[in-house]
A and B are shown apart, each in its own frame.
Chain A
Amino acid sequence: MSNVFIAFQKNEDSRAIVEAICEDNPQASVNEQPAMVRVDVPGRMVIKRSSIEERLGRSFDLQEMQIHLITLTGHIDETDDEFVLEWRH
């Protein structure tokens, strides 16, 4: 099963997002590089607004994620509550 991944600029907001991803996707692996952090998950990654809000302590619109986003891979499905990346093979 191939990985999907998402990469963010390193800052305090993306730290919360990465933690949320790891909590909601048990098979997630994190790769740290200068100024950038990348999270890989086999097959399907779900990013939940509620998990991020819990960690940030404020309301969060998933589209706000784009300010920190560097790159990603996989098919996207975006709703108000979840941002999903997945491969379908």
Chain B
Amino acid sequence: MDMKVNKKLGLKERYNLMTRDLAWTPTYQAVKDVFPYTEYEGIKIHDWDKFEDPFRMTMDAYWKYQAEKERKLYAIMDAFTQNNGHLGVSDARYINTLKLFLTGVSPLEYMAHRGFAHVGRQLAGAGPRVACLMQSLDEIRHAQTQIHSLSNYNKHYNGFNNWRHQHDRVWYLSVPKSFFDDAISAGPFEYMIAIGFAFEYVLTNLLFVPFISGAAYNGDMGAMAFGFSAQSDESRHMTLGLEIIKFILEQDPDNLPIVQRWIDKWFWRGYRVLTLVAMMMDYMLPKRVMSWKEAWEIYAEENGGALFADLARYGIKVPKGWAQACADKEHLSHQAWNVFYNYGAAAPFHTWAPSEKDMEWLSQKYPDTFDKYYRPLWEHYAAEQKEGKRFYNTTLPMLCQTCQIPMFFTEHGDPSKVAYRESTYHGMKYHTCSDGCKEIFDNEPEKYVQSWLPVHQIYQGNCFTPEANPGAPDFNPLAEVLKWYRMEMGRDNLDFEGSQDQKNFAAWRAQASGN
């Protein structure tokens, strides 16, 4: 007798059977009670089955490929550690980019894990729920792989050991932290547009490619390996973001204005967080990959351009701040690095003025702006430093109420003028750095009046350890804030020149190549 063998199901059918087809609509409780957050944002979904899962990995495939990635990654990390790979980086200045990454980015991976776990519970459609829960797993994987990978540097260099404590307290870290707090306190649909789409699709390449390529160019195999390993998960995340926005827009035309407002808000908020990447690329990498301007042109203008051309058929327009972000590519990195140079005493990583060679590169990459606006500044600083007068700004800056960054941004069209925007809410003034941040404030003032602005909190006396005594005659508030930050003065902060990191790296490298 012939055995009848049915044709094997295709990938899509197999995947559906193992995921969305396992779900059912609750009947013992009202759907509204089981999914209490699905309607309050005003988004209308009529048919969740229309969501198309772009990556169709059932659990067996997921574990198989994730396990393979982990094996490869940890093998590289072991080899890197065993080989004293840290001594193979181009220059010890490079290591400060990793401090920036660990303090600023790794905590966001953890929060993304929480955010996607929440949304994976709250969305009423089975398809997106599964994709969100896979992403939640991926994100905690990223947090852990980054901690593992960077722990190797922590053994040898300063500024790594209090990243978790510092993320909640240090002035520049309230920028990424508040970004994610804003997203996770929004509803599930806004969260998906904010993180899934705006951050993980539109802007992700601007965060990860510079850091990972920076690692590759500067001999950091450890970071490069975790970067690439994370990025392969990111492709799934990107496609979830793109698919969810398509799905929402196709469900009901009433969703369009809501989604557009979120795109405008989250493009701008994400772009502001990327300020840190711009300065990293242009000023902190000894061997530079490309300029921020070039990265913006490829990943935002070209790539983002293609994306928004694609979404135009739904009525989506390019985000409101787009033109300004494009114009600012000439200025952002230089202005941002000046902030960290100014406040170099207050960050747990080193800063420095660019060398003459660095400035040649900057001149070449920014022919219209570097020599005119920024070279004189760096030359001045270098001259001062030579005379033992390295400049540190000791007065606290004004911060933007929305993005929480010091108000260094200049007017669109006039890079000599700081941009000031002002709003009044319930009788009190609030200040923002740009039209984008002002609009975000004005649309949801109840949210942003709650901003925990580091400068204001310091003045309120909330940034001291319990042992601090503000009444004491020799009370030094800035020193006390650093104690509260768990930053060691003279070791974790200040200029790279003369730092322990610099001395150690040089000594160890000499040992590794001599007797």
Contact = CB atoms under 8 A, between A and B. Distances in A.
A72 to B, nearest CB: 5
B307 to A, nearest CB: 7
Nearest to A70: B231
Given A63-B65, A71-B204, A2 B213 contact: no
A74 B238 CA distance: 10
Contacts of B212: 36, 70
Interface stretch (B55-63, B121-129, B385-393, B398-406): B55-63
Contacts of A77: 54
A2 B307 CA distance: 9
B204 A35 contact: no
A33 B216 CA distance: 9
B143 interface: no
B68 A67 contact: yes
A44 B243 CA distance: 17
A67 B238 contact: no
B11 A79 contact: yes
Contacts, number: 92
Interface in A40-89: 61, 63-64, 66-73, 75-80, 87-89
Given A70-B232, A76-B239, A87 B12 contact: no
A34 interface: yes
A64 B65 contact: yes
Contact of A35 (B65, B228, B310): B228
A73 B228 contact: no
B228 A9 contact: yes
Contacts of A63: 57, 61, 65
Contacts of B246: 75
A69 B212 CA distance: 14
Instruction: Name the interface size band of chain A.
Output: 20 to 34
Contacts of A66: 55, 57, 65, 232, 235-236
Contact of B238 (A35, A72, A89): A72
A3 interface: yes
B242 A72 contact: no
B426 interface: no
B74 interface: no
Contacts of A9: 228, 232
Nearest to A68: B232
B429 interface: no
A88 B224 CA distance: 33
A5 B239 CA distance: 13
Given A67-B69, A69-B231, A70-B231, A75 B242 contact: yes
Contact of A3 (B12, B65, B306): B306
B509 interface: no
B11 A78 contact: yes
B322 interface: no
Contacts of A79: 10-12
Contacts of A87: 306, 309-310
Interface string B288-320: 000000000000001101110110110000000
Contacts of B61: 61, 63
A58 to B, nearest CB: 15
A89 B308 CA distance: 10
A70 B234 CA distance: 8
B54 A78 contact: yes
Nearest to B303: A73
B208 interface: yes
Contacts of B238: 71-73
Contact of A36 (B54, B216, B313): B216
B421 to A, nearest CB: 34
A37 B68 CA distance: 20
B217 interface: yes
Interface string B235-263: 11011001100100000000000000000
Given A9-B228, A66-B235, 20 more contacts: A2-B309, A33-B213, A34-B217, A35-B228, A36-B216, A61-B61, A66-B55, A66-B232, A67-B69, A69-B231, A71-B208, A72-B235, A73-B307, A75-B54, A75-B242, A78-B56, A87-B310, A88-B313, A89-B306, A89-B309
25 contacts: A2-B302, A2-B309, A33-B213, A35-B216, A35-B228, A63-B57, A63-B65, A66-B55, A66-B65, A69-B231, A69-B232, A69-B235, A70-B212, A70-B228, A70-B231, A70-B235, A71-B204, A71-B208, A73-B238, A75-B246, A76-B239, A78-B12, A80-B11, A87-B306, A89-B313
Interface of B: 10-12, 54-57, 61, 65, 68-69, 72, 204-205, 208-209, 212-213, 216-217, 224, 228, 231-232, 234-236, 238-239, 242-243, 246, 302-303, 305-307, 309-310, 312-313
* List of 10 A-B pairs having minimum Cβ-Cβ separation, nearest first: A2-B306, A34-B216, A70-B231, A35-B216, A76-B54, A69-B232, A89-B309, A89-B310, A80-B11, A9-B228
